[in-house]
Amino acid sequence: MDQEKTSFTDLLKNSVVDNFNTSISISKILLTLGIAFLIGLFIYLLYKRVFSGVLYSKSFNVSLIGMTLITALVIIAINSNLVLSLGMVGALSIVRFRTPIKDPTDLIFLFWAAVAGIVTGAGFYTLAVIGSVVVGIVLFLFIKRASFETPYLLVLNCSGDRSEQAVMQKLKAVVKRYNVKQKTVTADNVEMTVELRLGENEPAFVNQLTAIEGVRDAVLISYNGDYVS
């Protein structure tokens, strides 16, 4: 029994010693960080290209490159030896990120940068590059396609039924589709809120709406479903 315990202990020690390798090739470090930087730069450029929120944050976008590089660096260190990997797991468990994420798309880019760094740091360079290209193409196609049909809210006030009918006829002619969301009628005023899809049309048609007799004012608001901008 003692011999079996000793054998198991020796086996465990030998396994730890075999995985304890403090020497990391400089060429491997430079290659890994170089690929991680290129992938992070690709994420940076794509985020800047497809951003459709209210206010673009360059600092957030730059942090995507930093996250890719730092994550790759951590994975290189973890792969170097088993003991250090256990210590890093405990150290990273106390890290808390409290910066609020306002747009779900930003969370996708953050997770993408972290995963790209992990895969690159683990040495799967082909997977990291091909995976990032595929993810980038998918995000570009879907996000840009969605931005082409940005919904708008049209809020207008008119004097009565005649001017309201004239506005509806104008909307049928110039917008891709519309849907009346709210209508308030008083003795001398009709207030409507209409959701619009302009397609390739320019929002300059609002000037034509205000030129219709009986239309007092018209306001066009960009709307993404969560907040008004």
Domain ranges of the chain: 2-147, 149-222
- Copy the structure tokens of residue 37: 């930087």
Q: Provide the pLDDT confidence category of residue 165 given band limits of 50, 70 and 90.
A: confident
Which pTM value belongs to this model?
Answer: 0.61
215-224 per-position pLDDT tens digit: 888 888 776 5
Query: From residue 37, how far is each of 41, 44, 58, 73, 160 by CA, in Å?
Result: 6, 10, 17, 11, 61
Average pLDDT over residues 38-51: 92
pLDDT at residue 4, rounded to an integer: 47
pLDDT at residue 13, rounded to an integer: 55
Asked if pLDDT for residue 90 goes beyond 90, the answer is no
pLDDT at residue 197, rounded to an integer: 76
175: left (phi over 0), alpha (psi -120 to 50) or beta: beta
Asked if pLDDT for residue 38 goes beyond 90, the answer is yes
CATH 3.40.30.10 holds for 149-222: no
Closest CA to 19 of 82, 85, 89: 82
- Copy the structure tokens of residue 92: 């990273």
Query: Distance between CA 129 and CA 116 in Å, rounded?
Result: 8
Report helix, strand or coil for 181: strand
Q: Which amino acid is at 226?
A: D
Report helix, strand or coil for 201: coil
